Amino acid sequence: MKKIFFLCLSFIFIFCGCSNPLFAKADPSVDMTPRLITSSNYKSAVEVVDSVKSAVVGISAAVNGGYSVGSGVAIADGGYILTNHHVVEGSSNLTVYFADKTNASAKFIWSDSSLDMAIIKSSKNMPYLECGSSKDLQVGEDVLAIGTPLTLQFKHTVTKGIVSALNRTLEIESMGGASYLQNLIQHDASINPGNSGGPLISLDGRVVGINTLKASESEGIGFAIPIEVGCAISERIVKNNDFEPAYIGVFGFDADIANYYGETTSEKGVYVVSVDPKAVASLAGVEEGDLIVKIGDKQIETLLDLKMQMFSYDIGDEIVVEIIRNGEKQTISMVAQERPNLVS
């Protein structure tokens, strides 16, 4: 696969002199009453922004003597905020900045580098947004991005664009080697360093994605993680105060892009590119080249389907996987295990 290089949207400011609104006076025009902000038939993007902005935060994370500036969005009662892993990674101190110009401390709850997702919890409760569905998006549809590009002076910056493409797969170069982000939403709403973790919002006021990166050598090519991933995880965390994903040890691509590996298939599913030899899938008989088409009672057409179904399992649960191998269907059972070296 041809490698594409992208710029992560976290940015380190070493005592850069940007204004610090730690003691700013609250703006009474912004309603910060904790509540669910539901979708609505808004007449304009202005109405959408006015309604949802109280659920969006700027984030400063103390890292290595400096600060990583990012964004986040509340998606559950209690101050639970979804952002990117790379915004809060390694942070010793988190501060969130609200639309009414006040701020509060926040604590780290959970993160996963492979998903580039993290959840933090504000010490102050706040409004939160309704999760939408990335599967309802259409290419050409208007979307809004709200975040904190570059510095804390630019909190709650709003940009507008369209959905440019769906189900994008990107190969990302990092110190640990290549990794992949799949099922991404490509859009052209302007995003810059600091927008990471901020919401991509549809014009009915729902969160449909979490902005994560942009093309480093072009304009108008940004990407967001489908919101279903973050919402599924946040539901588990709010309910159980923790989340430890079930692991079976397969890595794959949507069948539609399996041709990157010289493989083609007429079936929808997840094409298995590699299998952890020590994990339960390998021990149960799953092999490279298999096509996963069903897990439990859920038909699997994309990697997003697979992730969402796996989030419903706990470690120790039996998982029944249906695969296609050499044109024939097989059913394989395994017991979900803890994922090794889980980033927490």
The two beta strands, 11-13 and 6-8, are unpaired
pLDDT at 343: 39
User: 32 — alpha (psi -120 to 50), left (phi > 0) or beta?
Assistant: alpha
- The set of catalytic residues is 86, 116, 196
Which residues does 72 contact at the CB level (< 8 Å), separation at least 6?
Answer: 56, 57, 58, 59, 81, 82, 83, 87, 96, 120, 197, 198
For 51, 168, 260, the CA distances from 164, given in Å and listed in that order, are 25, 10, 22
- Structural domains of the chain ordered from first start: 1-237 (2.40.10.120), 246-338 (2.30.42.10)
Rounded Cα distance, 284 and 248, in Å: 10
pLDDT score of 7: 31
pLDDT in single tens digits along all 344 residues of the chain: 333 333 333 333 322 223 344 446 788 899 999 999 998 889 999 999 999 999 999 999 988 778 889 999 999 999 999 999 989 988 879 999 999 999 999 999 998 887 889 999 999 999 999 998 888 899 999 999 999 998 888 889 999 999 999 988 887 665 555 567 888 999 999 988 889 999 999 999 999 999 998 877 677 889 999 999 888 888 888 888 777 888 899 988 887 666 665 665 667 889 998 899 999 999 999 999 899 999 999 999 888 889 889 988 989 999 999 999 988 999 999 999 887 764 33
Give the CA angle between residues 114, 115, 116 to the nearest 5°. 95
pTM of this structure? 0.83
Query: What are the distances in angstroms from CA 241 to CA 78, 105, 120?
Result: 12, 19, 12
Q: Are 155 and 59 in contact (CB under 8 A)?
A: no
pLDDT score for 259 = 61
User: CA-CA distance, 73 to 119, in Å (whole number)?
Assistant: 10
pLDDT value, residue 36: 96
Tell me, what's the pLDDT at 283? 94
What is the predicted pLDDT for the residue at 266?
A: 63
pLDDT for 262 = 60
- pLDDT at residue number 142: 96
What is the reported pLDDT for 252? 86
Q: What is the dihedral of CA 312, 314, 316, 321, to 10 degrees?
A: 20
Identify the pLDDT of residue 176.
Answer: 53
Cα angle: 84, vertex 177, 210; to 5 degrees: 20
**Cα gap 128→78, rounded to integer Å:** 9
Packing angle of the helix pair 303-310, 227-240 (nearest 10 deg): 0
